[in-house]
């Protein structure tokens, strides 16, 4: 694109989803590479600046990574879920290490 936000289009969006923001981009439970992560964060912050909620799913299974995923997403104002598997067949209540 030309780098100009199409505000009429963005205003029609209630929320956007993003997977692998902080974990899972290359492999589950592995931190997303910094350059890729920054690009994803920047796009999501652009949506957030225009009133669009960001729903983020990271794929991580170790308690430390799950906690860090929630912390990093919370710091950005994103609604997040640290999924311990890609099937997404568990809720946050089912994942014992969740810090919400």
Q: Tens digits of per-residue pLDDT, 42-88?
A: 999 999 999 999 999 999 999 999 999 999 999 999 999 999 988 77
| pLDDT of res. 100 | 46
Domain assignment of residue 39, given as a range: 7-94
Query: Does the pTM exceed 0.75?
Result: yes
| 43 lies in some domain | yes
Query: Which of 22, 36, 28 is closest to 60 using CA atoms?
Result: 28
Number of domains present in the structure of the chain: 1
Residue 100 lies in a domain: no
Separation between Cα atoms, residue 6 and residue 71, nearest integer Å: 30
| Assigned domain for 57 exists | yes
């Amino acid at each position: 694109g030309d780098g100009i936000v199409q505000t009429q289009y963005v205003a029609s969006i209630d929320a956007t989803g993003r997977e692998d923001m902080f974990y899972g981009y290359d492999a589950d439970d592995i931190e997303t590479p910094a350059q890729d992560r920054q690009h994803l964060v920047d796009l999501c912050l652009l949506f957030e600046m225009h009133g669009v909620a960001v729903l983020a799913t990271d794929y991580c299974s170790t308690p430390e990574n799950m906690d860090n995923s929630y912390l990093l997403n919370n710091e950005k104002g994103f609604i997040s879920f640290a999924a311990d598997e890609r099937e997404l067949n568990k809720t946050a209540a089912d994942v014992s290490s969740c810090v919400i």
